[in-house]
């Protein structure tokens, strides 16, 4: 696996080196002995521009190394050349990183680009819509936030943690709108999912302290 990561990291340089070897072989011998380095070199170069270092970014994201993920993302100089589904993931990851850095405007722009390109899975689209809804909440755009979060639920979310987060956001929105019955219903849905993420569990405990006292 580490060998494969090294190949992805340096495939552009390896590809260029193989093309150079092919040229030298072609000059001093003939085309056919040079064909294999030409072919492999071209495949590696095309892979660099069309597929990018997505696997390297994924490794950093899974280990929580956001600085490493951002560094790898910065090596993609021509995102417009990326294969469309991968380009969508590229912009979504840029949006996630911007959101973690509290760059909400940058996060929204990049996530919207990812959504406009089309997400490879419906659940991924739902997760992006949920994040954009949360961004709208940060900006106090309640109407926009509600619409995006409802879309996220409709599209489908990847796991119960995301689902619970979506319902809790709607619970808060309904409280703001003083639609207390709907607020309680969304809270019930979130709690019934039995999420385990500490932040979500803590949020449920905080809401539970006073939701039973509100009318509706």
CA 158 to chain CA mean position, Å: 12
Q: Report pLDDT digits (tens) over 109-121.
A: 999 999 888 876 6
Please report, for the chain, the start and end positions of each structural domain, with discontinuous segments joined by +.
1-50
pLDDT of residue 216: 62
Query: Is the confidence at residue 133, as pLDDT, over 90?
Result: yes
pLDDT of residue 120: 67
Question: What value does the CA radius of gyration of the chain take, rounded to a whole number of Å?
Answer: 23
Percent of the chain with pLDDT over 70: 97
Quickly count: other Cβ atoms within 10 Å of residue 89's Cβ: 20
pLDDT of residue 122: 67
CB 70 within 8 A of CB 106: no
Q: Report pLDDT digits (tens) over 11-52.
A: 999 999 999 999 999 999 999 999 999 999 999 999 999 999
Question: Residue 89: which pLDDT band, with cuts at 50, 70 and 90?
Answer: confident
Instruction: Give the chain's mean pLDDT.
Output: 90
Handedness of CA 98, 103, 109, 111 (dihedral sign): positive
Query: For residues 149-162, b (16+ Cβ closer than 10 Å) or e, as one string?
Result: bebbbebebeebeb
CA–CA separation, 191 and 183 (whole Å): 12
pTM exceeds 0.75: yes
* Residue range 149-159: mean pLDDT, rounded: 92
Q: Report pLDDT digits (tens) over 175-214.
A: 999 999 999 999 999 999 999 999 999 999 999 888 888 7
């Amino acid at each position: 696996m580490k060998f494969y990561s090294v190949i992805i990291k340096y495939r552009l340089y390896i590809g260029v080196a193989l093309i150079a070897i092919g040229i030298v072989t072609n000059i001093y011998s003939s085309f056919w002995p040079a064909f294999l380095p030409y072919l492999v070199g071209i495949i590696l170069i095309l892979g660099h521009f069309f597929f990018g270092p997505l696997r390297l970014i994924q490794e950093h994201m899974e280990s929580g190394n956001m600085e490493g993920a951002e560094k790898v993302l910065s090596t993609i100089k021509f995102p417009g050349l990326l294969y469309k589904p991968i380009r969508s993931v590229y912009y979504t990851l840029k949006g996630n990183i911007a959101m973690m850095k509290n760059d909400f405007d940058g996060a929204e722009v990049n996530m919207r680009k990812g959504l406009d390109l089309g997400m490879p899975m419906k659940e991924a689209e739902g997760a992006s819509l949920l994040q954009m809804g949360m961004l709208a909440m940060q900006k106090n755009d309640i109407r926009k936030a509600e619409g995006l979060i409802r879309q996220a639920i409709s599209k489908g979310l990847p796991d119960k943690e995301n689902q619970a987060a979506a319902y809790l956001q709607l619970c808060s929105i309904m409280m703001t709108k003083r639609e207390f019955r709907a607020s309680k219903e969304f809270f019930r849905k979130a709690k019934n999912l039995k999420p385990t993420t500490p932040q979500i569990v803590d949020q449920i405990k905080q809401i539970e302290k006073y939701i039973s006292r509100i009318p509706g």
